[in-house]
Amino acid sequence: MKKILLKFVSFFIINKKVFNITVLGLIQIVRKVFSMGIDLDKELLEKHFRVTIFGSARIEKGDPIYTSIFELAKMISEAGMDLVTGGGPGLMNAASEGHHAGRKDEKAHSVGLRITLPFEQEVAAHLDIKKEFDRFSSRLDNFMRLSNAVVVAPGGVGTLLELLYTWQLMQVKYICNVPIILLGEMWIDLINWIKKWPLRNELVNQEDIELLFLAKNSKEAFNIIQEAYDAYKIKDAKFCLNYKKYKI
């Protein structure tokens, strides 16, 4: 405890925020201090297959989409895979709860890559590893390094950013060809729009669209993930890993 307090005081003084600090500022500093000891590189060295789930922070328990994400994350955990989310409320919490419910042992981890916002945001339950970021760009880069498969659930601007960032890096071969799974009906119109406008006008290629997979429900999404996981287990050392390919 003394070491933690010393870290806190040192951080406090270095950042010249001893005086006139707001409550929100104090909360942010505490979060940074407690995330200092988290080493994602150490986590990456472990041979775990990791599934990232992106989705809205606004969708609450009781919504069918919340239930679907809970069920998907539970299947991911039961299969022994790690989970990576934004570590916040809504669908991120649904995923964390589902992953915890399906856990058979302590080998499968739930990782939360959180972002510092100008307003307070709940922390998802049952996170084994938490990391705080001040910049969306750094956070997105670490999502890319960790991901062996990506599920994009319904969401807003943040979820769209995460989807397009993943798709862009895969298109230019900065990251491995991992499945990008669009879960739910809301993505059907997006795919149709991409085919109608960018594809028809030769602004994207057919191969780019083939990187995206539509899944109607959690079972369909898991089947796609399972195929990638099977390939990961067969290829072992030869399997393309983003933490080796994608350099920050």
Enumerate domains of the chain plus CATH numbers.
1-37 (no CATH), 40-245 (3.40.50.450)
How confident is the prediction along the chain (248 residues), in pLDDT tens digits per residue? 545 545 544 554 455 444 444 554 544 444 444 443 356 777 666 789 999 999 999 999 999 999 999 999 999 999 999 999 999 999 999 999 999 999 998 889 999 999 999 986 899 999 999 999 999 999 999 999 999 999 999 999 999 999 999 999 999 999 999 999 999 999 999 999 999 999 999 999 999 999 999 999 999 999 999 999 999 999 877 889 898 899 87
110 neighbors 76 (Cβ within 8 angstroms): no
Instruction: Identify the H or E element spanning 159.
Output: helix 157-171
Helix/strand/coil for 93: helix
CA-based Rg of the chain, rounded to a whole angstrom?
A: 19
pTM: 0.85
Helix/strand/coil for 194: helix
Place of tokens 């960018």: 198
The CA distance from 167 to 178, in Å, is 10
Provide the sign of the torsion angle of the four alpha carbons 59, 124, 159, 166, taken in this order: negative
Side-chain half-sphere exposure of 141, counting CA atoms within 13 A: 13
DSSP-derived letter for residue 123 is P
Cα separation of the two ends of the chain = 33
The CA distance from 96 to 53, in Å, is 10
82 neighbors 110 (Cβ within 8 angstroms): yes
Strand order in the sheet with 82-85: 129-133, 110-115, 82-85, 50-54, 149-152, 180-183, 212-215
